[in-house]
Amino acid sequence: MNVQPIKQRFGIIGGSPVLDRAIEIAAQVAPTDLTVLITGESGSGKEVMPQVIHQLSARKHGPYVAVNCGAIPEGTIDSELFGHEKGSFTGAHEARKGYFEVADKGTIFLDEVGELPLSTQVRLLRVLETGEYIRVGSSKPQKTNVRVVAATNVNMLQAVQRGTFREDLYYRLNTVPIHVPPLRDRKEDILLLFRKFAQDAADRYRIKEPITLGPDAQQLLISYRWPGNVRQLKNIVEQMSVIEQDRRITADTLRGYLPEETTALVPAGAGKPGLESINERELIFKFLFDMKNDLTALKEQVRVLMTGQPLAAPVAPAMPEIVLPLQGTPTGTMSIQMPRSEEPHDVEHTEVHESLSLQEKEKELIKKALARHRNRRKAAAQELGISERTLYRKIKEYDLQ
């Protein structure tokens, strides 16, 4: 398939085989109504593919609506996409059409679809499967005839595994996948794009002569990794076009505009504890506190058994709140609960002495409980008044297999 006319029509620069393949798939799927998912890194030029699909389809005379899902607040995205009725929420002074209603008989492009909240994903799945949606504040379903093209720069399979994106919606969107390659995989296109951006900048800013590259600068430009892809290249060309007096760019000059790759490739916020690290820290603290609580409960049960009293359900010790310094929260702190001992202030000395004296008795009681219940750990743990997890840990510790 000859994709050159498509490139000329939509201003696509490059002759890379991987880019030509992406354009070819877009042209082949355009006459159908299949849902398309466009993937690729940020700045790689994904936004041109939905336009190719729309303009080459039977819907080209219908509306084309592009929506950046990541730029709409979570509280209003349902209203933006599906509309709302008058009085459905504070500030809804009149009824409003959503993008799916506006794009009826046309194409809607959902950019950054991976940023959609889970509740909105459910609504989108219904539109894709039945063509129906419900305005916010209404109970009446409405129909829409719209072709959906979505794009994302995140790994959708990882998002599905993390539970931030619905698996059924992913496969529904991914009917026809199109991958837009990053600029580092299109090295043969870098110099073409540079010349195009240099000429555009000269025309836009009324500069007599566009900038050019020396041989060493050309090699540096091609070997650079371009984490920001085509968008980064365009920005750098425009900067040099305006700032540099010498229109012949050397490698030393170009190097001053290229950020260090080790810096450019570090994600925003790297080195700061994010949500995942906070959750991991909380889980570690919780696990340690649970272990201490289980051991305290076991000691109490041993003491009761030694005095000949019947076993009672263990009571969790009170948990005073402490505050840890933490970045990334509104107050700069994180509250957790620490187990409060009810023993005197010299508890550390007492606990060490007690644990040494009770170790053998604890081991013997566990052996007897296991023997009485024929090694059924759940029943033995219930009799000892401890969790099955704690009992299993004690079995391993005392080698009671």
**CATH code where residue 60 lies:** 3.40.50.300
**Last residue in a domain, options 181, 197, 215:** 181
Same domain for 12 and 82, yes or no, is: yes
Predicted confidence band at 356 (pLDDT cuts at 50, 70, 90)? very low
Domain match, 10 and 154 both: yes
Tell if the pTM clears 0.75, that is, is over it: no
Task: Identify whether 31 is part of a domain.
Answer: yes
* Residue 316 domain flag: yes
Phi, psi of 223 (to 5 degrees): -80, -15
Mean pLDDT over 351-366 rounds to: 62
Rounded CA-CA distance 391/381 in Å is: 6
Do 296 and 258 fall within a single domain?
A: no
92 with 124, same domain: the answer is yes
Specify whether 9 is located in the same domain as 153.
Answer: yes
CATH of the domain at 249: 1.10.8.60
Shared-domain flag, residues 13 and 149: yes
**pLDDT 10s digits, 126-138:** 999 999 999 999 9
- 82 pLDDT more than 80: yes
pLDDT digits (tens, 9 = 90+) for 229-278: 999 999 999 999 999 999 999 999 999 999 876 444 433 333 333 444 44
DSSP string, 7-47: HHHHT-----HHHHHHHHHHHHHTTS---EEEE--TTS-TT
Domain end among 127, 148, 181: 181
Longest dimension (CA), the chain: 100
pLDDT digits (tens, 9 = 90+) for 267-302: 333 333 344 444 455 555 556 666 767 777 777 777
| Within a domain: 270 | no
Residues 172 and 120 occupy one common structural domain: yes
In a domain, 173, yes or no: yes
Residues 25 and 169 in one domain: yes
Look up the domain containing 133 and give its range: 4-181
Residue 32 included in any domain: yes
pLDDT at residue 151, as a whole number: 97
One domain for residues 195 and 90 = no
367 pLDDT band, cuts 50/70/90, is confident
* Whether residue 159 is found in the same domain as residue 49: yes
pLDDT for the residue 331: 42
Question: Rounded to an integer, what distance in angstroms lies between the CA atom of residue 221 and that of residue 227?
Answer: 13
Is 269 within a domain? no
The reported pLDDT for the residue numbered 100 is 97
Q: What is the pLDDT of residues 160-218, one digit of tens each?
A: 999 999 999 999 999 999 999 999 999 999 999 999 999 999 999 999 999 999 999 99
**Residues 282 and 352 placed together within one structural domain of the fold:** yes
- Integer angstrom CA distances of residue 199 from 37, 192, 205: 33, 11, 10
Burial 257-277, CB ≥16 within 10 A → b, else e: ebeeeeeeeeeeeeeeeeeee
The pair phi, psi for residue 144, each rounded to 5°, is -140, 145
* Bridge partner residues of 177 (DSSP): 37
Q: Which of 181, 203, 222 is the last residue of a domain?
A: 181
Which has the higher per-residue pLDDT, 154 or 281?
154
Give me the pLDDT at residue 212, please.
Answer: 97
CA separation (Å) from 391 to 42, 362, 382, 395, 398? 51, 11, 10, 6, 10
Report CA 262 to chain centroid distance, whole Å.
22
Q: Are residues 244 and 301 in the same domain?
A: no
Instruction: Tell me if 385 is assigned to some domain.
Output: yes
Overall domain count for the chain: 3
